[in-house]
Amino acid sequence: MRLKALIACAALLGLSHPALARMEKTTVHSAAVEGNLEGNSSDRTVYVFLPDSYDKSKSRRYPVIYFLHGYNSTADQYVERNDFDAALKASGAETIIVVPDSMTMWGGSMYSNSPTVGNFEDFIAQDLVAWTDRHFRTIPSREARGLAGHSMGGYGTLKLGMKRADVFGALYAMNPCCQIPRPASSANPKYEGWSVDQALTADWMSRGNFAVAAAWSPNPAKPPFYADLGTSEGKVNDLVIAKWAANSPVAMASQYLPSLRRMIGIAIDTGDTDFVRADDELIHETLTRFGIAHDWEIYVGDHGNRVKERFRTHVLPFFTKHLKGSTR
């Protein structure tokens, strides 16, 4: 990766550089993702970052932050862009960071369960958490597990937080997408006649339509996409749109108020020029209306230009404050 290459060059030149947290890149098999109709691999890339004290304090157990990447990206790309190892080292946070890969055929799993895509909600909340607890000295309780993510990962953070409050105790959603019910767009009718190859080479917004359909309105009896699209014969498919709406956190919130109230802490942020700002303001207003305590910030920035900085200055301190066992 870019950062590692720079450090290697510095070492050859005899230059000093800050030490990094220990990073492990591995593959985790997910039974939950097996057998999906898209053929997405059930062997998922996972990065694990360990704090300095991990190898020194052999009897100590640690909280864990699970970080979910965004749409049309991989865990590799998020690790490259955001230097989690340097951030963990610089912050002194006494926590483990786990970054799983959820890239799929259409660019992202939406962190949902689907026979078409695979059960990625279960991969994160069950398979990955269980694997982490088996392989590392974690504090195996919800009070010591944080869930964070950016964009689609921010969406996944809020969705899984609501549905899996028995697993995760604190949430930080960075620039979360997909907060409001998604209508059928004027472009939807054209997708009905597309081939898989045509869809795979389309722009990311078009591929996103197939990602949403595969995750939220799967239909194993309808090849080649194994999903119901937002329109049928050029007309809006109200049942499909209802399924999509049911997966939006704004719509879900009233059903999961006990889960939201169980959270030790919730934080949501967005940029002042972010294209999802209006969505994020609505989930903020929704949580406020239901009396759900949460941190909320609109900062100067767009959808992704400050993720690296804010992970270090906001996300890590948030979890240090809220997770059990995160202080020295």
Instruction: Give the C-alpha distances (Å, rounded to integers) separating 89 from 20, 136, 262, 277.
Output: 6, 18, 30, 31
Q: What average pLDDT score do residues 30-50 get?
A: 99
One-letter amino acid at 71 equals: Y
The verdict on pTM exceeding 0.85 is yes
Instruction: Give the C-alpha distances (Å, rounded to integers) separating 120 from 5, 102, 146.
Output: 32, 7, 17
One-letter amino acid at 288 equals: T
Q: Which CATH number fits domain 20-180+248-322: 3.40.50.1820, 2.170.150.70, 3.90.1150.10, 3.40.50.2300?
A: 3.40.50.1820
Q: Give the pLDDT confidence score for residue 18 in this predicted structure.
A: 44
Nearest to 300 by CA among 319, 274, 327: 274
Query: Does residue 13 register a pLDDT over 50?
Result: no
What percentage of the chain has pLDDT greater than the value 90? 82
CB 101 within 8 A of CB 44: yes
Local confidence band at 189 (pLDDT 50, 70, 90 cut-offs): low
From its phi and psi, is residue 17 left (phi > 0), alpha (psi between -120 and 50) or beta? beta
Nearest to 266 by CA among 152, 139, 158: 158
Q: What average pLDDT score do residues 65-80 get?
A: 98
**pLDDT tens readout for residues 210-223:** 999 999 999 999 99
CB 303 within 8 A of CB 175: yes
Query: Does residue 114 register a pLDDT over 80?
Result: yes
Local confidence band at 328 (pLDDT 50, 70, 90 cut-offs): low
**pLDDT tens readout for residues 231-262:** 887 888 889 999 999 999 999 999 999 999 99
Mean pLDDT lowest for which of 22-31, 85-94, 107-116, 168-177? Answer: 85-94
Q: Coil, strand or helix: which one is 266?
A: strand
Instruction: Give the C-alpha distances (Å, rounded to integers) separating 28 from 41, 135, 197.
Output: 11, 11, 29
Q: What average pLDDT score do residues 281-309 get?
A: 98
What phi and psi, each to the nearest 5 degrees, are found at residue 322? Answer: -105, -25
Within 8 A by CB and 6+ apart from 51, the residues are: 21, 62, 88, 92, 93, 94, 95, 96
